[in-house]
Amino acid sequence: MLGYAGQILKIDLSTGNISKEKLEPEVARKFVGGISMSAKLLYETVKPNTDALSPENALIASSTPFSGTGLIGANKTDWTIKSPLSGLASTATSGDFGTHLKWAGYDNMVITGKAPKPVYITIFDDEIQIRDASDLWGKDTYETSDELWDRHGNECTLFSIGPAAEKMARISMAYTNKQATAGRKGTGAVLGSKNLKAIVLRGTKGLRVAHTKELNAKIEEIYQQFLKDPNLKPWMDLGTTIAVETYGQEGKAAWKNWHESYPPDRWVSRFGVKEFMKVREIALPCVLCPLSCRLVYKLKDGEFAGLETPQACNMGAILSYGSKFDLLNYNQVVKCHDTANRLSIDTNEFTCLLDFLMDLQERGIIDEKVTDGMKLERNIDTVLTWLHKVADREGFGNVIADGYYAIFAALGEELVKEAVERRGGSLDFDPRGLFGTEGFGTAVGVCGPHATFALGPLVISGRTPEQLRRYCARTGLSEEESERVFNDPLGFNIARLTRYVERWNVLLDIMGICNRPPLARLYSLALITELYHLVTGIDIKPEELLAAAERCVNLLKLFNIEQGATRKDDCLPERFYTEPFLLLGKETWLQDYYNTKRLTRKDIEHWLDEYYEERGWDKNGNPTSETLTAIGLKNEVRA
Amino acid sequence: MAGAKTKVKKESREFPILVYPEKCAGCMTCQVMCSIRNLGELNPLKSYIRVNRDHGIRTTSLEFTEDCTWCGYCARFCNYGALVLKKLAKTENEGEEEK
């Protein structure tokens, strides 16, 4: 089967059994690859009511049809689990493990079971071994990676965890090559629960595609188009920092437990572009990425001078550490980031939880006895202390390690109303100042609250309906779909639009295409369809690819429903309705994209009805029988 | 070419690429494109150019194997300035000397 490796690798760590199953051509065509294949494998492997930290949970990695083909920016791996944080499906599209997995001869990998003692796995093409990791257990992520590179060669790709994940902290992550985070919602803890310290991968089998010359010509064409992007230089220099000053000035950096936006002047002077460039050392791209939003920090002078550490998203680091804890400079942010990565702690979850507890303490709702007799002050010492307490599960760190639900259980369920969380997870950013599809996606996303499925053009203010129409044309909306999206007094219907933004982003994830604008913009539905044919030789219609994206979302939704999710889970944090926040010093309520009106619970519930209707789900959010039949899932779902 | 190990063929023509390993970010695009051009398959670890990395962070050297055909195809896809086609470098910056 050209374009695919043609095999699914399955490893049961309880029995040590390693099997290689054929990827059936009809399955490949139906689910295409990436996140969609992961959804299928998750649904069939992990049964309802499975404990996420039990041997029965699965760690799934999926490559895509475009992985390793030379198509620029099409390099992402999908990592899927049942989340120990939310109890629902969790996917992360990150890092180039999948590309190397495919070069080793596998499209997908499914790891189940639990090893009797710490192990790591080596995958060198056909040769797969489960090896003793006793000497690695306890080492941090970077030490583990360096040791494994020394042992097996620098050309290997690594996936590893540090101490917090070993101790099954539900807010822990796993990392590809030290920096690409497979996270949000406890991927690291799932590895820890399996006694799996790391995976070492080297692929030399390569890959053959159906139409090599034609594909090469297309790659050249896409690459030349990429080079014409007027924002290329700033993107290459700054990565996600490209938007940092706008973010601060628009008040998107929240602190004090989402009660206020961080002062923009302080934000720019401490974390703006000028300060960033002082600590940016070199680019650190994913495989086959000519853009490199990733980087290596190096602190040349000042506090922690000499520290050098890789970073996947600078914006994420300053939104997390910089503003929430009022850190004084980049050096302090970099030190916190480095510490969290080494310990394998999810930066976003940890910082939101600590900020939440600080706010409770500042407002006298909890006292210092709760936090081991310590006053939670907004400074670097507090952050570093609690990172280590979480990793060691020491004192109240043992509670923070397991997220909001554990805190509510320990301190009282009434604290739910004080928190800004959904499904036990933290939001990435504050959608109240600019409520686009990613804001609505925070409520409805099947793997939320991480809203990447719904990340679209409305992440920038002032987009016109005409601009949205161009986006919709590129991403494959039919005339009827467009009519429903744009038949709205606001100019567009955000609920209905969210469905199609999600469909597009899921299709990008199916193909492993990065959603950074200079890369994602290169690909239209028509081009993806053409490229899929050149890679695989399979003649496929654009609608079939969109249907694969729908299968993925519906399967993840069905998985969540089986695990107990209901309409009540598709909501925004309660506080968004009950109290205003201080946006740039001004009292502000949740409001629509054009700031024409305050949004109430009734508005959001009405949109939820429309979103469900657009998706072909009933009023409770359950995919209808007709919908499942239409997308070819009727016979695959459990009764 | 500090850090670059280039096999100089005993041919009259000049090696077509300027090599700056210190600028290499390690994206492997050169390896992939070499393999597809010269091997007819996507197999970077068998390509005629090797990007040697140190612990996932820095490139230590860029190495061309004995089999390198000097086609220069790899350099056409380097966006980090580590591989530059001499003819393009000359066109863009007349008089610049090879490092």
pLDDT in tens, A147-162: 999 999 999 999 999 9
Query: Is the pLDDT reported for residue B42 higher than 60?
Result: yes
* Average pLDDT of the segment spanning A22-46: 97
Domain-embedded: residue B37: yes
Answer whether A212 sits within 8 Å of B35, measured CB to CB.
no
pLDDT the model gives residue B9? 55
Which tokens sit at A473?
């044309």
Per-residue confidence (pLDDT) for residue A5, from 0 to 100: 97
Closest residue on chain B to A147 (Cα): B55
Q: Which long-range contacts (CB under 8 A, 24 or more apart) does B95-98 make?
A: B98/B1, B98/B18
Domain residue ranges in chain A: 7-202, 235-421, 437-630
List the beta strands (DSSP E) in A532-606: 581-583, 586-588
| Range A13-34 average pLDDT | 97
Cβ atoms of B31 and B51 closer than 8 Å: yes
Q: Chain B within 8 Å of A145 (Cβ-Cβ)? A: yes
The domain over range A235-421 is classified in CATH as 1.10.569.10: yes
Partner B contacted by A635 (CB < 8 A): no
pLDDT computed for residue A137 by the predictor = 98
Neighbours of A295 (CB within 10 A): 27
pLDDT band with cut points at 50, 70 and 90 for residue B98:
very low
A contacts of B36 (beta carbons < 8 Å): 70, 212, 216
Whether B77 and chain A come into contact, CB under 8 Å, resolves to yes
Facing A290 at nearest CB: one of B42, B54, B79? B79
- CATH level 2 (architecture), domain A437-630: Orthogonal Bundle (1.10)
Using alpha carbons only, what angle is made at residue A344 by residues A341 and A347, rounded to the nearest 5 degrees?
A: 65
Express each pLDDT in A220-243 by its tens digit.
999 999 999 999 999 999 998 998
Give A9's strand partners. Answer: A20, A109
The secondary element (H helix, E strand) that includes residue A88 is: none
Q: What is the pLDDT of residue A612?
A: 98
Give the tens place of pLDDT for each residue, A532-573. Answer: 999 999 999 999 999 999 999 999 999 999 999 999 999 999
Residue B4, pLDDT above cutoff 70: no
Which residue in chain A has the smallest CA separation from B76? A220
- Res B88: pLDDT: 79
pLDDT value of residue A448: 75
φ, ψ for residue A119, nearest 5 deg: -140, 165
List alpha helices for A137-179, DSSP H: 141-152, 163-166
Highest mean pLDDT among A134-138, A205-209, A456-460: A134-138
Query: Does residue B11 register a pLDDT over 90?
Result: no
Is there a domain that residue B7 lies in? no
Rounded to the nearest 10°, the torsion over CA A184, A186, A191, A194 is -160
Least confident of A165-174, A217-226, B29-38, B86-95: B86-95
pLDDT band (50, 70, 90) for residue B2? very low
A184: confidence class by pLDDT, cuts 50, 70, 90:
confident
Residue A49 has pLDDT above 50, yes or no: yes
pLDDT band per the 50, 70, 90 thresholds, residue B95: very low
For residue A341, the distance in angstroms to the closest alpha carbon of chain B comes to: 15
Query: Which of A80-89, A441-450, B63-72 bottoms out in mean pLDDT, i.e. has the lowest?
Result: A441-450
Residue B91 confidence (pLDDT) above 70: no
Please determine, for residue A193, whether its predicted confidence score (pLDDT) is greater than 70: yes
3-state class (DSSP) for residue A24: coil
**Which of A149, A177, A292 is opposite residue B25, by nearest beta carbon?**
A292
Q: Name beta bridge partners: A17.
A: A12
**The listed CATH number (1.10.510.10, 3.30.56.10, 3.60.9.10, 3.40.718.10) that belongs to domain A7-202:** 3.60.9.10
Number of domains composing chain B: 1
Position A524 pLDDT exceeds 90: yes
Residue with tokens 């007709």: A626
Tell me the chain B residues in contact with residue A287 when contact means C-beta distances shorter than 8 Å: 27-28
Strands B49-54 and A89-93: unpaired
A288–B28 CB contact, under 8 Å? yes
CB proximity B95 to A under 8 Å: no
The continuous run of DSSP H or E covering A181 comes out as strand A180-182
For residue A3, the model assigns a pLDDT of 96
pLDDT category, B93, cuts 50, 70, 90? low
CATH number at residue B48: 3.30.70
Taking the C-alpha atoms of residue A79 and residue A263, their distance in angstroms, rounded to an integer, is: 36
Torsion (CA) B83, A94, A143, A126 in degrees, nearest 10: -80
Is residue A450's pLDDT more than 90? no
In angstroms, the CA A230 to CA A501 distance is 24
What number is the average pLDDT over the span A115-129? 98
A429 vs B50, residue with greater confidence: B50
Q: Between chains, do A203 and B45 touch, taking CB under 8 Å as contact? A: yes
B61 touches chain A (CB under 8 A): no
Is B8 inside any structural domain? no
Residue B36 has its nearest CB partner, among A70, A285, A286, at: A70
The band of B92, judged by pLDDT with boundaries at 50, 70 and 90, is: low
Q: Do residues A555 and A88 make contact, with C-beta atoms less than 8 angstroms apart?
A: no
Dihedral of the alpha carbons of B2, B6, B9, B13, in degrees to the nearest 10: -60
User: How many of the other CB atoms lie within 10 Å of CB of A255?
Assistant: 23
Whether B21 contacts chain A with CB within 8 A: no
The residues facing A122 across adjacent strands are A129, A200
Q: Model confidence over B12-30: pLDDT tens digits? A: 678 999 999 999 999 999 9
The whole-chain average pLDDT of chain A stands at: 95
Contacts of A92 (CB under 8 A, 6+ apart): A78, A79, A80, A181, A182, A183, A184, A187
Q: Is B44 near chain A, with CB under 8 Å? A: yes
- pLDDT band at residue A257 using 50, 70 and 90 as cut-offs: very high
Q: What is the mean pLDDT of residues A435-442?
A: 94
CB A224 within 8 A of CB A145: no
pLDDT at B87 over 50: yes
Determine the pLDDT at residue A416: 95
Q: What's residue A638's pLDDT?
A: 85
Q: How far is CA A219 from the centre of its chain?
A: 27
State percent of chain A over pLDDT 90.
Answer: 91
ipTM of the shown complex: 0.90
Place of tokens 């992961």: A38
Provide the pLDDT for residue A429.
Answer: 79
Tell me which of A116-120, A426-430, A581-585 is least confident. A426-430
Chain A within 8 Å of B53 (Cβ-Cβ)?
yes
Burial class of residue A19 in the structure, from the number of CB atoms within 10 Å of its CB (0-12 exposed, 13-18 middle, 19+ buried):
exposed
Q: What would the pLDDT profile of A366-418 be if each residue is shown by its tens digit? A: 999 999 999 999 999 999 999 999 999 999 999 999 999 999 999 999 999 99
What spatial distance separates the first Cα and last Cα of chain B, rounded to whole Å?
A: 6
The stretch A593-611 carries a mean pLDDT of 96
Q: Which residue of B has its CA nearest to A222?
A: B77
A207 touches chain B (CB under 8 A): yes
- Is A391 in CB contact (< 8 Å) with chain B? no
Q: Is residue B5 part of a domain?
A: no
The per-residue pLDDT for range A339-365, each reduced to its tens digit, is 999 999 999 999 999 999 999 999 999
